[in-house]
Structures are given as structure tokens and as C-alpha cells.
Structure 1
Amino acid sequence: MTEVYYSCESFYDRDDGRTPRVTSICVRNFASGQTSSFSIHKIAELKKISNEEIQEKYDILEKEMLKEFFEYMQTYKNHIWIHWNMRDINYGFQALEHRFRILKGTPISLEESKKFDLSRALVALYGNAYISHPRLQKLMELNHITAQDFLTGSEEAKAFEEKEFVKLHQSTLRKADVLANILGRTLDNSLKTNANWRERHGLSWRLILDLFFKHWIKATLATVGLISAIITIIQFV
């Protein structure tokens, strides 16, 4: 499994309809903990471009960064890619693909079966009220996961405007690590949430009744079979 997270300029308060520019991407192998990162400032450093020049050469740098990322994805396209709300053209795999196409690159597309939205999975497991919004930060607070280097969406937007690309990169690395932490706690059932016992264990009478009526034939046959078995045992005894 591979966790992925990326940072970009704000996708709010823009009137031109342009998809947000990507600043950094981080992917982490869940089993080994090995992390690979792709960022504007790293490409700029390799090309001997100063931080002050990044803005005017952004398209070149972004294209090179996305090229490296999609080459990585090609190598690990059979992995399950764990993400947090990367679901649409504003923020998601589609957005990354679209940005690369705009820059005259040729992206690859992961199969939908290889994408796993941890955010949606937690709602399915524990219910909508399992944690308040913003969910990622609140989960970190409740589970005492350190927020060092973590930037909120508004803080990332501000960092982009102020050309703090290293700061953005550190935040992306931290968020990939947070996803791994939350996934690990979910798998070993140690994740703390606000869900009650019934919500955590899926015991809902409404759900049980709904399933019963949807599958009443199977339920009836099973009930008749159980009664028949009990009568047979009694007669035998």
C-alpha cells in the first residue's frame, strides 16, 4: 500500500477557472515507511534556479516534478494508493493528471480499484459523527498525533503566495506520515474517535431490519431451518 498527499495553491477565490498549480507531492510505502517526494523547490535546486526565480519558471519546474511523479506511479501502479479526499478536478488524481496535460505531459491514470479514500472509509466504519470538522486535524488532536510542520489549507495557500515552497514541502511530508499513522491505528483498532459503541461495531436496529426485509426469503428459510434442527434434536433426545 502507498499513501499519497500533495499540496497546491488555493482552489478557492480564483476567477480564471484554472486548476491549482501543484507545489509538492509525497508518497509513502506503508509497509516499509520509505518516502519519496517530488517538489518545486527540489527541481529548482537541481536546475540552479533561485527561489526568487521560481515563480517566473514555474511551468517548467511543475512539469518536471509531475513527470517524475507519474514515472513513480507507473512503477507502483499495482499498489493500493491510500489518499484523503483526492476525488475530483479541484483536488485529486484528476487534478494532477489535468495539470500535467496542460503542461504538455502525458499522465497515467490509476484504476479506480487502486484508489482508497481513507476519509470516506472512516465515515463508513464509524458514521458521519465519528469526528468533527476539520476531520484530519481533529483526529490528530484526539489521537495525540503531533502537528509539527502540518499546515492547514488556508496556511498552505498563504505559504504559496509568500513563495515558502520548502515549508509547503515539509507540510506535505508530514501529512503523508499522518495518513500512515491513522491507517495503522485503524487497522489495529486503536484509533480514537467520537463514535459510540453501537456506531463502532455497526449494531444498528434500523440496518438489521433493512437487511432483514431486503433478504426476507433467505432469513425465512434460515429461521425455518433453525427451528427444524431444534425440533429434530429434541425428538432425538
Structure 2
Amino acid sequence: MGKELQKLRARKEVRKRLDAIDSRRDMCLVIHYSCESFYDIKDGRTPRVTSIAIREFESGQTTSFSIHKNAELKGVPLADITAKYDELEKEMLAEFYAYLKTKPDHSFIHWNMRDINYGFQAIEHRYRVLKGEPVSVADGKKIDLARELVALFGVKYAPHGGSGRLHSLMEMNDITAKDALTGAGEAEAFERQEYVKLHQSTLRKVDVVANLLDRVLDGSLKTKATWGDQHGFHPVAVIEWINEHWLYAGLTIVALLLGFYVTFKDMI
């Protein structure tokens, strides 16, 4: 199959998934989390998780899990969190996975949470390292909005810049960046043990992803995609389709020519 036809079919599949989300908003959860910067880790371990937020797409209600909240419940001062980090992190992740057990049929919309560096796998692995038993979310229940937007609008729909496409989309769509830290900002906050700031950033970003999803569904999302990118039109796709369906295309042309002949034969 030609490259442009593949893009058209991928866009069609994305639209089907988005229609399914729109029809069952009550079964969709938007998830985001913050963690230690994986770029700064030198010993090969997975990054420590600092906070996780899950927003019910239909109601907007948000459930969150964070290191500093668990520390507060146990009477651990913020200054002492580092010394008890593993213990607090394990308790936080235990609560997170207990929550997941109550949502076995829900779909999870996320932003780039797709590998062992940053994603569901990374959280699962971190919990196993802490001797916990994670609950796996089926791949079919994970929807990466970042990848869906590329399929819908093309890679140039938003500049990556220094802060990533998420922040670019926020700027283009007049969504306030208050509390939403950049990747570099989150890494700095972790080093400074500013766990409350990291939690606020996680809450803000899960709200932003839900906001962007809403705009995609109602067609109001502003991007830098061209008309052709937005509507999936490319002349090469027509050529590829003809090459793949040459017999059907040939019969169509013959039918058109016969139609012209019948219509205009008296004028010939």
C-alpha cells in the first residue's frame, strides 16, 4: 500500500476511535503523571514516580495520587520525603493500582505515555521494583492523543519547539499554561524536591489533555495543519489508489467514456 493511502486509512481509523470516545464519554479517563527525569538517571533504573492524575472525561472529576499527600498522611515532613521515598512511592502506587482495579472496562487517553521510559510500562516496572503487583491496562484501552493528532493533521500540525507540542497547542489555542511545567521544569522541580509543584503540574496537564480532546471532538482545535493535511487530500493518494485498483479505475474510465459517447453521439 502507498504511503499516502496508508495515511488516509490511518486517519479513518483515528476518526472511528474518536467517534467511539465521543459516544461513550462516561467510559473514558484522561491520565497524566510526573516523574523523575529519565535523562538525568545514570544507573539505568526507571524514574521514580511523583504524582498521577486521572480525570473522568464526562464529569471532569479528577482523582490524584502523589508523594506529598502520602507523606502528609504519614506525618512525614516535606524535607524528609527523600529519605522515605521508596516507602511513600510504593504506597502511592498501591492506591493507584487499587483504583485501576475499579475501572477494568474504561479507556485511558494519554499524552505520549507509551514506553518504559515514560508510560504505563514505566509505572508498572517501578511498582514491581518496589515489590508490588501492578494491574496492567490492555493496549487496546490506551489511546495516545499525541499520536492520534499526528495521524489526523500530519507531523507539522504543531511545532515541537523546546517545550514539546503539548505546550505549543496550549499557546495556539489560548489555554493558560499556569502550573503546567515543561519537561525541563519538572526535572528541576524534582531535584529541588518541589513535589507540590510537580503535583500541580500533573493536575494542570491532565486538564489540558482533556481540553484538547474536547476541541478535537467538536472540531475547534487550532493547529498549523494545511487544508490538505486536515482533510487528508493529497494528489499522490489518487495515483496510489489507481495503481492499486487499476482494473476498477480502468472500468470507471471506460464507463465515463461510454457515457460521454451516448450523451454526445448525435453531435459527433
TM-score between both structures, scaled by the size of structure 1? 0.92
Q: Which amino acid aligns with 2:232?
A: G
Residue 55 (structure 2) pairs with residue 28 (structure 1): yes
Aligned to 1:160: 190
Is residue 51 of structure 1 aligned with residue 78 of structure 2?
A: yes
* Residue 40 (str. 1) matches residue 70 (str. 2): no
Partner SS for 2:52: strand
Cα distance, 1:80 vs structure 2: 1.3
Give the 3 Å change call, closer, same or farther, for CA 220–88 of structure 1 in structure 2: same
Query: CA offsets per residue over residues 122-152 of structure 1, 9 Å max, x none?
Result: 0100011111012011100000001111101
> Which residue of the other structure, out of 227, 230, 241, is the alignment partner of 1:197?
227
Residues 22-53 of structure 1 deviation map (CA, whole Å, 9 limit, x = unaligned): 00000101111110000001111111111111
Indicate whether 1:17 and 2:47 are aligned: no
Q: Answer yes or no: is 1:141 the counterpart of 2:171.
A: yes
Alignment partner of 1:181 is 2:208? no
Note if contact 2:30-2:108 (Cα within 8 Å) is conserved in structure 1: yes
Q: Please give the alpha-carbon distance, in whole angstroms, between the structure 2 residues aligned to 1:228 and 1:107.
A: 66
Q: How many residues align?
A: 235
Residues 1-237 of structure 1 mapped to structure 2, 5 A cutoff? 1-133=28-160, 134-220=164-250
SS of equivalent residue, structure 1 residue 75? coil
Amino acid paired to 1:3? V
Aligned-residue offset at 1:225:
6.6
Once residues 51 and 157 of structure 2 are traced to their aligned partners in structure 1, the CA distance between those partners, rounded to angstroms, is 30
Are the counterparts in 1 of residues 41 and 47 from structure 2 also a CA contact under 8 Å? no
| Residue-by-residue CA offset, 1:143-182 (whole Å, 9 max, x unaligned) | 0001111101111111111111010000000000000010
> 2:100 & 2:263 partners in 1: Cα distance?
60
Unaligned ranges ≥5, structure 1: none
SS at match of 2:101: helix
Give the Cα separation in 2 of the matches to 1:129 and 1:161: 33
| Residues 67 and 88, structure 2, Cα contact 8 Å, conserved in 1 | yes
Distance change (3 Å), C-alpha of 1:230 and 1:184: farther
Query: Which amino acid in structure 2 is aligned with residue 148 of structure 1?
Result: K
For residues 230 and 51 of structure 1, the distance between their equivalents in structure 2, rounded to whole angstroms, comes to 81
Gaps of 5+ in 2: 1-27
Question: TM-score, normalising length from structure 2?
Answer: 0.82
Q: CA deviation at 1:76?
A: 1.3
Quickly say closer, same or farther: Cα 1:227–1:101, change in 2 above 3 A: farther
Supply the distance in 2 between the matched residues of 1:37 and 1:212 (Cα, whole angstroms). Answer: 52
Quote the Cα distance in structure 2 between the aligned partners of 1:225 and 1:65: 67
Query: How far 1:231 moved relative to its partner?
Result: 8.5
1:96-123 deviation per Cα after TM superposition (whole angstroms, max 9, x unaligned): 0000000000011111110101001001
